[in-house]
Amino acid sequence: MQAAVLHRYNSPLEILERPDPKPPPGWILVDVRSCGVCGSDVFLRKGGFNSTLPIVPGHEASGVVRELGEGVAPSVAPPGTPVALYYIDHCGTCRMCSVGRVNMCLSVRRMGVEYDGAFASQVLVPERNVIPVLPSDDPAAVAVLTDAVATPYHGLVRIGKVQPGETVVVFGVGGIGSNAVQLAAHLGCTVIAVSRSDAKLELAERLGAHHVVRGGEGVAERVRALCGPGGPEVVVQSVGSAVVDRQAIDTSGIGSRVILIGTTTEGFELRATDLVWRESSVWGSRGFTPTDIREVLELHRTGAVTTDHLLLHRRPLAEANEALEDLQAGRVLRSVLTFGEGW
Ligand SMILES: [Zn+2]
Ligand SMILES: [Zn+2]
């Protein structure tokens, strides 16, 4: 197998030949077909996740089952089955897993962060983390649906519990925010998209934003001028920036839910009165569950959401470093590493 391996932080991945792995008991060997290159991979390369090195990145992927480890029932996904991969290994029994919040499992381990991921021609996956898909699904679309679309879906539906008719403000129109825009529009909300980039504001309009607003100083006032009395019901913050975190709070109104998805470790100032006087709330939304993946796959099949804007840049594994550079420099929303055509 071929793998792109990170040996040292802030240095390029090395494309290496490795022996084909054997699936341990309870695990499945998958031939990778597509893997999205995500902001989290850039964060990983900088040492943000403090991963033990060497590590193979890659957490939003699709593939075909090659071999089942001992004890895996063939009914899970027999060899040859096209699958989406869920990157969060979870115990299934802890207090978070037992209420279905497996993304927050107390013994969470993530593919491409704590164990080797799908920047490789083959990857090992725990049996509960393969989700069979249809042969008619596009492998590249399946890959990006498992993260770039499922992450904002989780934020809007599970955390934000958005309702039709609500106004949803989306800060950032990148790999996550662009999909928050189209999902909120599909859910029947009035969508206001915020970005500093004209090209991204145009993309937001194409994806169903009802209003677009230029980011930067004074953005809260510009957005609130478009909202009804009391401001927006929901604010989704997808930018990894403490300045934008604060702008999201300033934009919120009476009874607003602010959902933070973009991550930065920098702090921002928050006064109790920001929340108390408005009886508003701030939520963190992290990742997604297999149920979220199944639901966005179905939305894609019915044409309710598109992945076209995420699939403009396809590269072979050998160009994984170029894909990371493109993302870091803001030249692309996403790149997808592909391994041949179709399943
Ligand atoms: Zn990701
Ligand atoms: Zn658990």
In this prediction, residue 230 has a pLDDT band, given cuts at 50, 70 and 90, of: very high
Nearest C-alpha neighbor of 118 from the set 43, 38, 173: 38
Ligand nearest to the CA of 143: 1
Sign of the C-alpha dihedral, residues 30, 287, 114, 241? positive
Ligand nearest to the CA of 92: 2
Q: How far is the CA of 192 from the centre of ligand 1 (A)?
A: 24
Q: How far is the CA of 340 from the centre of ligand 2 (A)?
A: 35
Q: How far is the CA of 150 from the centre of ligand 1 (A)?
A: 10
Q: How far is the CA of 134 from the centre of ligand 2 (A)?
A: 28
CATH topology of domain 2-148+288-338: Quinone Oxidoreductase; Chain A, domain 1 (3.90.180)
pLDDT value of position 178: 98
Q: How far is the CA of 66 from the centre of ligand 2 (A)?
A: 27
User: What confidence tens digit (pLDDT) does each residue in 249-298 have?
Assistant: 999 999 999 999 998 889 999 999 999 999 999 999 999 999 999 999 99
Are 60 and 119 within 8 A, CB to CB?
Answer: no
For the ranges 203-207, 311-315, 327-331, the lowest mean pLDDT is seen at 327-331
Ligand nearest to the CA of 149: 1
HSE of 51, CA atoms in CB hemisphere, 13 A: 31
Q: How far is the CA of 131 from the centre of ligand 2 (A)?
A: 18
User: What confidence tens digit (pLDDT) does each residue in 105-118 have?
Assistant: 999 999 999 999 99
CATH topology of domain 161-284: Rossmann fold (3.40.50)
In this prediction, residue 171 has a pLDDT band, given cuts at 50, 70 and 90, of: very high
ipTM score of complex: 0.96
Q: How far is the CA of 42 from the centre of ligand 1 (A)?
A: 10
CATH 3.40.50.720 location in the chain: 161-284
Ligand nearest to the CA of 103: 2
Query: What percent of the chain has a predicted confidence (pLDDT) above 90?
Result: 95
Peptide bond into 21 cis (omega under 30): no
Average pLDDT of every residue of the chain: 96
Helix (H, G, I), strand (E, B) or coil at 51: coil
d(CA 199, CA 212): 11
Q: How far is the CA of 88 from the centre of ligand 1 (A)?
A: 11
Q: What are phi and psi of 263, to 5 degrees?
A: -120, 135
Q: How far is the CA of 39 from the centre of ligand 1 (A)?
A: 6
Look up residue 92 and give its amino acid: G
> Residues 206-239, buried b or exposed e (16+ Cβ, 10 A)?
ebbbbbbbebeeebbebbbebbeeebbbbbbbbb
Are 53 and 7 within 8 A, CB to CB?
Answer: yes
Q: Which residues, in sequence order, are CB contacts of 160 under 8 Å at separation 6+?
A: 168, 234, 236, 257, 259, 283, 285
- For the chain, the straight-line distance linking the first and the last C-alpha, in angstroms and rounded, comes to 17
d(CA 121, CA 4): 9
User: What confidence tens digit (pLDDT) does each residue in 186-207 have?
Assistant: 999 999 999 999 999 999 999 9
d(CA 269, CA 312): 38
